[in-house]
Amino acid sequence: MSKFEPGMESMVDMYIYETTTLLEQLDQILIKTEGAGSFDKESINEIFRIMHTIKGSSAMMGLENMSTLAHAIEDMFYIIREEKPVISDSKDLYELVFSASDLLKAEIELLQNDDYTATDFKPCHDRIEKFVDVLKNGGGSAEEASAPTETASAPASSASAPAGMTTVKVIFDDDCKMENLRALLLVNKIREDCAELTFEPADIEANPETAKIIIDNGFFVHFKALDGNTQAVINGIEEALNVKSYEIIEAVEAPKEEPKAAEPVKAEKAEAKPEETPKAAETPKAETKKSVEQINNMLQNRGGGSSGGKQSLISVNLNKLDQLMDMVGEIVITEAMVTGNPDLKGLQLDNFQKSARQLRKLNSELQDIVMSIRMVPLSGAFNKMTRIVRDMKVKLNKEVNLVFEGENTEVDKSVIDNLNDPLMHMVRNAVDHGIEDNVEDRIAAGKPEVGTVKLSAYNSSGEVIIVVSDDGAGMNAEKLLDKGEKNGILTKPREEYTEREAFQLVMAPGFSTNEVVTEFSGRGVGMDVVKKNIEKIGGTVSVESKLGEGTSFIIKIPLSLAIVDGMEVSVGKSIFTIPINSIKESFKLRENQLIHDTCGNEMVMIRGECYPLIRLYKCYDLEPTYTDIYDGIIILVETEGKSACIYADELLGEQQVVVKPFSPMFNDFNVKQYGMAGCTILGDGSITIILDISNIISNF
């Protein structure tokens, strides 16, 4: 971010976050109104406000290209709001605003590069100006439309209160820089609460020299509140950024005398009673006197305004949360090293044990709090998909509804960041591959004409399950096997593939069912990237489909990537950790429970159900403590709908463990395939392997 001066990093981060959020809100409003077929007054005002804010904050950051483009969109919606022209083809308007939104989003991405250079938005700006000319010719006068913001920002003749209006003098924080743009943000904040609004200096947006005038004389706002709600305007001024103090000045009927005749009512002296307010040289109008009394009463009730504007939310850089999470992990490890110190073995230390239990409780609470700070709802990631579906509907000429379920389910922020691309690929895949191209085919199958893509999420035993489903044509297992055979990606004879395994082929590298390469698919990349990205965050993805009814992609990801509850088990001299949420039960084997299938494989009978038996010492070629299976322990595990019995020497106890990833040098060995999810450090300083139960069941 070399464009910005050193020390502005926090401002840049806040600008990027707020502008990105506003642009996502803009997309949601456009999609909603496009579906409804018209703009309502509330939506137009919201778009106007969004562009107002982006324009002001971009100008404050010195990003003139973004500020100018936002200003052009703001002007366009001013005309739509005030003159209500007849728009012959709303499709052009939507495409124009969507393309401008995309340009602004792309600029935000570029802004985060060290070699950032501003993009020229002139082509888009010219298109907007041409569309504005069409709007002007279609309704209202060109003179009024050409200066939308001047109506509210005409210069006042003096710092005195114009007749029937209230004046507030605003002083900004010392050395806050660019005071004229701070003033512009304040005006934008209170504009919608004002029936009339003027301010001075008047040319704060175009003239940087007004910053010095504001420093020397203050910034004067003259307003008449909408519906007489003066309190809302004062609240807006008080809550505006970088406002150090303000004074409320009574309005006079006519400015016949010097402005000094109007005594200020200082915000910091709000405890004064209304009758103690000094009278103006001229008798105020009754309406004005009433509004000033309301202001004083409002300030009294809030105890001088010292507590009413306190904010309860702050933004924190994610890197700081990552460091905090790492620190909590180290505390957990250190606690285990202290309480499990071999020097304490055999000693009767009741007070120490009591303190250790209290420490464990506090660490657990600390971990829960830190994790809750990092948790964010999936709704943000889900909402981004509405724009993708909208664009595909237009370009593919398909009617598709996007439906959400459980979008308030929360996951770790780092998980969300890694979910956006996989979700985008799967939603595109559902619209392009899943939903039928021919509406007649849907009708003939007894389906609604409009297809449905559904995004759903829910919690299940320490995991978040996300399902992307469609009600389209479904997948044909035989055709998938044909394609896999043709591309040479089958790993075993075709006849040995189950239907479920055939569906999984769509996530193999280089696999695509599209014969023709399109903008959205057919290149043989996408679903394999989805699988890799999900596995990077410790998750899994699987496919279910029914021919003629639709397809579902099921993502399972852990709630937390850092600390898990595990059960330590020993196999010979080695110790392994099994995640608690995978364990159903543990027991000693009885003779009548051990059986063999027709192929001679060992099975365990539990309450009438047979489960395969996996001996960990055979998986990893270890020397067990007990060779007789009846001496060891059996652990029934279940994950992703698959179950098995794992044989180990003994259970060592439950322990919170910090998941440490393997060194990159192990990447070439695909250790995850061999049932190793990561490692952790035990209390005595030794290292234990955390088992990946899903891969153990699949591969052993």
Q: Do domains 9-146 and 563-699 have the same CATH topology?
A: no
Residue type, 626: Y
Residue 62 in this model has a pLDDT that exceeds 50: yes
Four-way CATH pick for 166-301: 3.10.20.30, 3.30.70.100, 3.30.70.1110, 3.40.630.30:
3.30.70.1110
Residue 454 in this model has a pLDDT that exceeds 90: yes
Q: Would you list the DSSP string of 525-593?
A: -SHHHHHHHHHHTT-EEEEEEETTTEEEEEEEEES-SSEEEEEEEEETTEEEEEEGGGEEEEEPPPGGG
Residue 679 in this model has a pLDDT that exceeds 70: yes
Beta bridge partners of 199: 221
- CA separation for the pair 675, 693 (Å, rounded): 6
The pLDDT value given to residue 645: 94
Phi, psi of 235 (to 5 degrees): -60, -45
Residue 359 in this model has a pLDDT that exceeds 60: yes
The CATH superfamily assigned to 378-558 is: Histidine kinase-like ATPase, C-terminal domain (3.30.565.10)
- CA separation for the pair 299, 656 (Å, rounded): 53
Provide, rounded to the nearest whole percent, the portion of the chain with pLDDT above 70.
Answer: 81
The pLDDT value given to residue 246: 87
Tens-place pLDDT, residues 524-556: 446 777 887 887 777 778 889 988 889 999 988
Higher pLDDT pick, 345 / 689? 689
Residue 284 in this model has a pLDDT that exceeds 50: no
Residue 67 in this model has a pLDDT that exceeds 70: yes
Higher pLDDT pick, 231 / 60? 231
Four-way CATH pick for 9-146: 3.20.80.10, 3.30.930.10, 3.50.50.60, 1.20.120.160:
1.20.120.160
- CA separation for the pair 578, 464 (Å, rounded): 19
Residue 342 — pLDDT band, cuts 50, 70, 90? Answer: confident
Higher pLDDT pick, 322 / 623? 623
Lowest mean pLDDT among 90-94, 225-229, 280-284: 280-284
Listed in sequence order, the residues at least 6 apart from 42 whose beta carbon sits closer than 8 Å to its beta carbon are none
The pLDDT value given to residue 534: 83
Tens-place pLDDT, residues 388-418: 888 888 888 888 999 999 988 888 787 787 8
* Edge-to-edge strand list for the sheet holding 594-596: 583-587, 633-639, 642-648, 609-615, 602-606, 594-596
Tell me which architecture the domain covering 563-699 has in CATH: Beta Barrel (2.40)
Residue 258 — pLDDT band, cuts 50, 70, 90? Answer: very low
The pLDDT value given to residue 280: 34
Provide, rounded to the nearest whole percent, the portion of the chain with pLDDT above 90.
Answer: 10
- CA separation for the pair 516, 36 (Å, rounded): 34
What integer is the mean pLDDT of 172-191? 83
Tens-place pLDDT, residues 137-168: 764 333 333 333 333 333 333 455 566 788 89
Q: Domain-by-domain residue ranges, the chain?
A: 9-146, 166-301, 318-375, 378-558, 563-699
The pLDDT value given to residue 318: 78
Residue 602 in this model has a pLDDT that exceeds 60: yes
The pLDDT value given to residue 635: 94
Q: Which CATH number applies to 318-375?
A: 1.10.287.560
Residue type, 70: A
Q: Which of 628, 619, 653, 648 is closest to 636 using CA atoms? A: 648
Lowest mean pLDDT among 171-175, 213-217, 304-308, 541-545: 304-308
The pLDDT value given to residue 637: 92
Lowest mean pLDDT among 254-258, 589-593, 659-663: 254-258
Tens-place pLDDT, residues 510-529: 676 555 445 444 434 467 77
Greatest Cα pair distance, the chain, in angstroms, is 108
Tens-place pLDDT, residues 18-56: 888 889 888 888 888 887 777 778 888 888 888 888 888
The pLDDT value given to residue 253: 41
Residue 275 in this model has a pLDDT that exceeds 50: no
- Apex 199 CA angle, 198 and 200, nearest 5: 140
User: For all residues of the chain together, what is the average pLDDT?
Assistant: 78
The pLDDT value given to residue 571: 92
Tens-place pLDDT, residues 417-445: 788 888 888 898 889 888 888 888 888 88
Residue 469 — pLDDT band, cuts 50, 70, 90? Answer: very high
Lowest mean pLDDT among 139-143, 470-474, 610-614: 139-143
Residue 194 in this model has a pLDDT that exceeds 80: yes
